[in-house]
Amino acid sequence: MKKKIAWITDSTAYIPEDLQNHPDVYVVPLSITFSHGSYEDGVNLTTEQLYTNLKNEKEIPKTSQPPVGRFAELFEKLKDDYDAAIGIHISADLSGTLASCKAGGELANFPVEVVDSKAMAIAITRLIWLGMELQEQGMDYKEISKKLQKDAYRIENYMVLGNLDQFYKGGRMSGTQYLLGNILQIKPIIRILDGKFELFEKVRSEKKAVKRMLELFETACQKSDINQIFVMHGNVMEKALHYKEQLLSKHPNLEVIISELSSTVSVHSGEGTIVLAWANDPVN
């Protein structure tokens, strides 16, 4: 008997233990190319190795989306066990991964619905969890896809970069913004809005930047019923735990999930990055 839906995502997503061990979840890795060779994120490159390589590299490594053939090969293997697949990926404005997934499904002649997370990391994970809940309720895969695409706009996220150089050289920041940040020692708060990186605010220090992000969360709580927040970090677990304590001191019933940013995200954001993300109430 066929299983209903295969869940496809990419290595920019946060993949907790429940999804790592889930038989219907398949993660297609992005690749990271250094001067000495290429690696597949999460396959033959850990985040620990990434930070070591970054310290030894003169140039910022390049990240690449999975090729169409990689997805097509996967879908060919899934044909015998699944009726369809839902691919949930990093924002289409930040990577061509979603387009590769869609093209791979067409090449393999396998029904695939693709969902643009409008972000990355935990934004993808949220949608997978929600999609599985909808599947349990008996919803059709096309209906699930439409529901998830609408839900993607609920996420609100802010980032304090660990390394301006990497973000700028990776093409994610304008030269003017980079120059101001370096000269004035500004710590920019970046957010992803409608799938694109945006300079949200300029703050003088990391401490003030995180304080500002926590203020933004408090404002969101006044407008929405938020019971869960995600604290993502680039190899600075002690900071993430500190911010978790701060959040719980004001919201003792809040679920605070800490996760490490994937290598493909950290290549651009840098070691020391802190991200806060949460989902606001649905828009009617």
For residues 151-159, average pLDDT: 96
C-alpha span between 83 and 105 (Å, rounded):
12
Please tell me the predicted confidence (pLDDT) of residue 249: 97
Helices (H), the chain: 17-20, 47-56, 68-78, 97-107, 122-136, 141-151, 164-169, 175-183, 206-223, 237-250, 263-269
pLDDT tens sequence across 219-252: 999 999 999 999 999 999 999 999 999 999 999 9
Please tell me the predicted confidence (pLDDT) of residue 283: 63
Topology of the domain covering 3-152? Rossmann fold (3.40.50)
Domain limits, CATH 3.30.1180.10, in the chain? 155-279
Q: Report which of 153, 87, 86, 82 is spatially closest to residue 123, judged by C-alpha positions.
A: 153
Scan for tokens 């606001």, then name that residue.
280
Domain limits, CATH 3.40.50.10170, in the chain? 3-152
pLDDT tens sequence across 204-222: 888 999 999 999 999 999 9
Helix (H) or strand (E) holding 61: none
Cβ–Cβ < 8 Å for 32, 61: yes
Please tell me the predicted confidence (pLDDT) of residue 51: 86
Query: Amino acid identity of 152?
Result: A
C-alpha span between 49 and 78 (Å, rounded):
32
Report CA torsion sign: 238, 242, 247, 251. positive
Cβ–Cβ < 8 Å for 228, 27: no
CA 85 to chain centre: 20
Cβ–Cβ < 8 Å for 162, 234: yes
Q: Indicate left, alpha or beta for 280 from its phi (over 0: left) and psi (-120 to 50: alpha).
A: beta
In the chain, the N- to C-terminal Cα span, in Å, equals: 38
Running DSSP on this structure, what letter comes out for residue 153?
G
Report, in angstroms and rounded to the nearest whole number, the Rg of the chain calculated over CA atoms.
19
pLDDT tens sequence across 19-53: 999 999 999 999 999 988 899 998 898 888 888 88
pLDDT of residue 178 exceeding 80, the answer is no
Cβ–Cβ < 8 Å for 229, 247: yes
Average pLDDT, the chain: 90
The three state secondary structure string of 234-278 is CCCHHHHHHHHHHHHHHCCCCEEEEEECCHHHHHHHCCCCEEEEE
Please tell me the predicted confidence (pLDDT) of residue 159: 92
pLDDT tens sequence across 75-85: 999 999 999 99
Architecture of the domain whose range is 155-279: 2-Layer Sandwich (3.30)
